[in-house]
Structure 1
C-alpha cells in the first residue's frame, strides 16, 4: 500500500502537468492538420506522430516544425 499512498500523494502535482501536456498535444494536432498550415519537411503525419508519441513532442513541433 505504500506505493498507492505515494501515487495518491503525488496526484495533485502530476494532474496539472498531464492536463497541460494533453491540451498542447490537441492544440498541436489541430494546428498541424489545418489545410493552410505548412510544416517543415512537408510531412504532417510525422509531425503528428512526434507530437503524440514523444513526451512533450509538441514542443519540438512548435519550435522546429512550423514553417511560416
Structure 2
C-alpha cells in the first residue's frame, strides 16, 4: 500500500483511534477505582488491553459490579 492510498484512510482512522484511547483510559480508570469486579481484576486488565476496541466495551458492560 502506498502512502497516497493510506492517506485516504487517515480521516476514517483518527476517530476510531481516539475512541479506542478514550475507552481504554475510562475502562482502566474504572477498573483501578473499583474495589470489586465480576472476576479477577488481572483478567479484566488483560481483556481491556489485549482485545483492542472491544475489550474496554466488554469490561464496561459486563465486568463492573453494582455498587
Please give the TM-score of this superposition, normalised by the length of structure 2: 0.85
CA apart distance, 1:4: 1.4
Task: Give the structure 2 partner of residue 53 of structure 1.
Answer: 50
Gaps of 5+ in 1: none
Alignment RMSD, CA only? 1.3
1:8 maps to 7
Structure 2's unaligned 5+ residue stretches are: none
Secondary structure at 2:60 match in 1: helix
Aligned length: 65
Give the conservation status (yes or no) of the 8 Å contact 1:40–1:67.
yes
- Offset at 1:49? 1.1
Residue 67 of structure 1: how far off its partner (Å)? 0.9
Per-residue deviation, 1:5: 1.1
* Map of 1:40 onto structure 2: 38
Runs of 4+ aligned structure 1 residues displaced above 3 Å come to: none
